[in-house]
C-alpha cells in the first residue's frame, strides 16, 4: 500500500472554503497533493484517495449518472459507508447537478426490518431516482426498494457500467447541495435541505473558528451520514484542502484506541467526537491493565466535543488518563451545532480548554436564570460547558416564550440567524414554517449567554440523543402502542438525567393488569421490542391507567408527563404487585 497523502501541499496556497460551490472547492483541492486516507481498527492503511483522484473519478461517474437518466435536481440515495466509493458517488452527484442523500448503513441497527423501514422512508420522502450501495448491503437495499420505480439500484461498479453522457452541469450557489436526514426517525423522516451557499459559508466560518492552517491534519471515526462526520470532517476539510485519516465507525466501536493510534502515528491535529467517544477510550485503556499506552498525542491541538450534551467529568477523566501521552486538556474545544444550520453554530477559542459554568439548580428550574454558585460538592449546582462564540457572519438570540430577547444569564430558547440556515425540510413546508420565521431558526434548544459564550442547558424539542445518536420518542411510543392490549397514548418516552450527567432513555407505560406475572411479562416485552425495533435499551416504568396527560386536542403531552413523573405526581406501579 502506498503512503498516506501528505499534510501539506507543496505549492497550492491554502484557501478556507471561499468558493461559490462544492465542485469548485474540489477542483481547487485537486491541484494539490492532499486527500483522504482509510484505515482499519488495527491501524492498517487500506486505501488512499488524493483529492486529484477523487475529482477525476467523480467526474467520470457523473457522466454515468447523466447517461443513466439522472438530470440536475434529481436525488440520489447513497449508503454512507466510510469508504472511497461513497465519496466518489457523492461528488459524482455534485458534478452532475444531482442531490446526494446520505443514508446510514445497517451496522448500528439491531433489527433488519427497522433498518429497512428507515431507509425506505428516506428514499421515498426524498423522491430518490437511484440508490447506490456497497455490495454487502445490497440485500437490505433490495428489500427497501421493492416495488419502487428507480433508474438504478446497485453498486458504484454498476453505475460505471451505464453509458456516459458528454456534458455535465453542476449546480450553482443557490441550488441544493445535499439532503441530510436525522439518523433517528423512521416514521417521520425530515430531510434538511442544504444549498451550496449554505455549506460554503458554514465551512468557511468553521475553518476560521478553529484557525485551520497548512499544518493541520484531521482524523475522524464519525459516520458520513451524520452531520458532524459528513460536514465537519469530510466536506469542511476538503474545502480547506486538509488531509483526513478515516477510521470506520464500527472499527472505532470495536477498538476505540485505534483512533488515538492514528492521531499519534500521523501527527493528527484536529479530531472531534461526542463525550461518549472519549469515555470509551478511557474505559478501554483502563480495562487493558497496561502501564501506559505507547502513544504521542502532543500534536492534537483541537480535540473537539459536540453532538450531545457535553459531560465535563468524562472529559476530565480522558485528560487524566492520557496526559502521560502528551495530551493537553487545553486542546478541548467545545462546540454547538445542528444539521439545520449545516453544522457549526458556535466554537470555543482554540487552546483555551473547557470553560465551565457552575450554576444554581434552583434558579435554573424555578426562575430560568443561570446564577453562578460555588462548586462545593453540596449538589446545589449543575456544571455546564460553554460552547464558545457564535460563528462569523451569524447571530444567536435567546428568547422567552413570547419571543422577547433575553439578557445575559437568562435561559430561553436558542434562535439562530445567518446564511447557514437551511433552505428547509425537503418537501415539508409545514415543518419548515414551524421552525423558520423571518430568517430565524428556532433550534428547539435551551441556553443562555455567559458574556459572549453560548451555553446550552438542554433540549426543549422532543428529540432524544443517546450516545450521540438521535431517537424520536414517537418511534418508541409507537412500538409500544402496537403491542397487543396497548392503546394510543399508553406510552411516553423521554430521557432522565442521571447523577453522572448521562441521559437514561425511559418509557412510562400505562398498565391495566394487576397480576404480578403479567406486569413482569409486560416490562420484559416492552424492553425487548424497543431494543429490537428501535435499537435502544430503555428503563420501563409501569404507571396506572389514565395517568399520562394529554393536550386539548387529545395528543400525548410528553413534556408534562416527564415533569409530572419527576415531581411525584405520577407514581410508578410495582412490577410485581
Q: Do domains 22-210+224-241 and 472-567 have the same CATH topology?
A: no
Residues 186-201: what's their mean pLDDT? 86
- 187 versus 117: the higher-pLDDT residue is 117
Q: Is residue 540 over pLDDT 60?
A: yes
Q: Is residue 290 over pLDDT 70?
A: no
Residues 306-334: what's their mean pLDDT? 91
Helix (H) or strand (E) run with residue 93 in it? helix 84-96
Report residue 77 CA to chain centroid gap: 18
Does domain 472-567 bear CATH number 1.10.1040.10?
Answer: no
Give the separation between CA 218 and CA 87, rounded to whole angstroms. Answer: 16
Q: 274-418+433-462 architecture in CATH?
A: 3-Layer(aba) Sandwich (3.40)
Residues 198-213: what's their mean pLDDT? 98
Residues 485-503: what's their mean pLDDT? 84
Nearest to 235 by CA among 134, 343, 340: 343
Q: Is residue 262 over pLDDT 80?
A: yes
Question: Across the chain, what does the average pLDDT equal?
Answer: 91
- Quick one: pLDDT at residue 289? 61
Every domain of the chain and the residues it spans: 22-210+224-241, 274-418+433-462, 472-567
Dump pLDDT digits (tens) for 29-58. Answer: 999 999 999 999 998 999 999 999 999 999
Dump pLDDT digits (tens) for 368-422. Answer: 899 999 988 777 788 999 999 999 999 999 999 899 999 999 999 999 999 999 9
For residues 477 and 493, the answer to whether their CB atoms sit within 8 Å is yes
Sorting pLDDT into bands at 50, 70 and 90, what band is 293?
Answer: low
The DSSP code sequence of 484-537 is TT--TTSEEEEEEE-TTS-EEEEEEEE-----HHHHHHHHHHHHHHHHHHH---
Grid cell 397514548 is found at 489
Q: Which of 27-36, 268-277, 344-353 has the lowest mean pLDDT?
A: 268-277
The C-alpha cell that represents 49 in the structure block = 484517495
CATH classification (class only), 22-210+224-241: alpha beta
Residues 110-136: what's their mean pLDDT? 91
Q: Is residue 507 over pLDDT 70?
A: yes
- 237 versus 184: the higher-pLDDT residue is 237
Dump pLDDT digits (tens) for 427-438. Answer: 999 999 999 999
Amino acid at each position: 500500500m502506498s503512503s498516506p497523502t501528505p499534510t501539506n501541499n507543496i505549492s497550492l496556497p491554502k484557501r478556507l472554503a471561499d468558493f461559490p460551490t462544492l465542485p469548485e472547492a474540489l477542483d481547487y483541492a485537486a491541484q494539490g497533493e492532499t486527500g483522504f486516507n482509510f484505515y482499519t481498527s488495527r491501524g492498517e492503511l487500506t486505501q488512499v484517495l488524493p483529492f486529484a483522484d477523487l475529482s477525476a473519478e467523480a467526474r467520470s461517474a457523473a457522466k454515468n449518472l447523466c447517461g443513466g437518466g439522472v438530470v440536475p435536481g434529481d436525488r440520489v440515495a447513497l449508503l454512507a459507508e466510510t469508504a472511497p466509493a461513497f465519496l466518489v458517488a457523492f461528488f459524482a452527484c455534485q458534478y452532475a447537478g444531482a442531490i446526494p442523500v446520505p443514508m446510514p448503513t445497517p451496522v448500528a441497527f439491531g433489527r433488519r426490518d427497522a433498518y429497512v423501514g428507515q431507509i425506505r422512508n428516506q428514499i421515498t420522502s426524498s423522491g430518490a431516482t437511484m440508490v447506490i450501495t456497497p455490495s454487502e448491503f445490497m440485500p437490505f437495499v433490495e428489500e427497501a426498494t421493492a416495488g419502487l420505480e428507480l433508474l438504478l439500484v446497485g453498486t458504484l461498479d454498476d453505475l460505471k457500467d451505464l453509458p456516459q453522457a458528454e456534458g455535465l452541469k453542476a449546480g450553482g450557489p443557490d441550488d441544493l447541495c445535499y439532503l441530510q436526514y436525522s439518523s433517528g426517525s423512521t416514521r417521520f423522516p425530515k430531510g434538511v435541505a442544504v444549498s451550496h451557499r449554505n455549506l460554503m459559508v458554514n465551512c468557511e466560518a468553521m475553518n476560521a473558528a478553529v484557525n485551520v492552517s497548512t499544518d493541520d491534519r484531521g482524523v475522524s471515526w464519525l459516520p458520513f451520514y451524520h452531520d458532524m462526520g459528513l460536514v465537519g470532517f469530510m466536506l469542511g476539510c476538503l474545502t480547506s484542502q486538509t488531509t483526513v485519516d478515516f477510521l470506520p465507525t464500527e472499527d472505532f466501536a470495536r477498538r476505540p484506541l485505534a483512533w488515538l493510534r492514528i492521531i499519534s502515528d500521523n501527527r493528527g491535529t484536529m479530531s472531534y467526537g461526542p463525550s461518549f467517544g472519549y469515555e470509551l477510550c478511557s474505559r478501554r485503556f483502563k480495562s487493558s491493565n497496561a502501564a501506559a499506552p505507547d502513544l504521542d498525542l502532543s500534536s492534537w491541538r483541537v480535540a473537539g466535543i459536540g453532538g450531545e450534551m457535553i459531560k465535563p467529568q468524562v472529559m476530565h477523566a480522558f485528560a487524566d488518563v492520557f496526559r502521560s501521552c502528551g495530551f493537553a486538556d487545553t486542546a478541548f474545544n467545545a462546540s454547538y451545532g445542528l444539521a439545520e444550520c449545516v453544522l457549526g453554530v458556535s466554537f470555543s477559542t482554540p487552546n483555551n480548554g473547557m470553560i465551565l459554568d457552575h450554576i444554581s439548580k434552583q434558579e435554573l428550574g424555578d426562575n430560568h436564570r443561570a446564577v453562578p454558585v460555588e462548586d462545593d460538592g453540596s449538589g446545589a449546582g449543575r456544571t455546564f460547558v460553554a460552547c464558545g462564540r457564535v460563528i462569523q457572519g451569524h447571530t444567536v438570540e435567546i428568547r422567552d416564550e413570547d419571543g422577547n430577547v433575553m439578557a445575559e444569564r437568562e435561559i430561553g430558547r436558542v434562535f439562530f440567524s445567518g446564511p447557514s440556515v437551511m433552505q428547509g425540510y425537503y418537501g415539508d413546508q409545514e415543518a419548515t414554517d414551524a421552525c423558520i420565521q423571518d430568517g430565524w431558526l428556532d433550534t428547539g434548544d435551551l441556553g443562555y449567554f455567559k458574556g459572549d459564550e453560548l451555553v446550552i442547558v438542554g433540549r426543549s424539542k422532543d428529540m432524544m440523543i443517546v450516545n450521540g445518536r438521535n431517537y424520536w420518542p414517537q418511534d418508541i411510543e409507537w412500538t409500544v402502542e402496537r403491542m397487543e392490549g396497548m392503546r394510543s397514548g399508553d406510552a411516553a418516552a423521554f430521557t432522565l438525567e442521571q447523577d453522572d450527567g448521562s441521559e437514561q432513555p425511559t418509557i412510562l407505560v400505562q398498565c391495566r393488569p394487576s397480576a404480578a406475572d403479567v406486569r413482569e411479562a409486560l416490562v420484559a416485552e416492552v424492553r425487548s421490542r424497543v431494543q429490537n425495533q428501535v435499537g435502544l435499551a430503555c428503563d420501563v416504568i409501569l404507571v396506572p391507567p389514565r395517568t399520562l396527560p394529554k393536550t386539548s386536542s387529545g395528543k400525548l403531552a410528553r413534556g408534562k408527563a416527564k415533569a409530572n413523573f419527576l415531581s411525584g405526581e405520577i407514581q410508578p406501579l410495582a412490577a410485581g404487585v
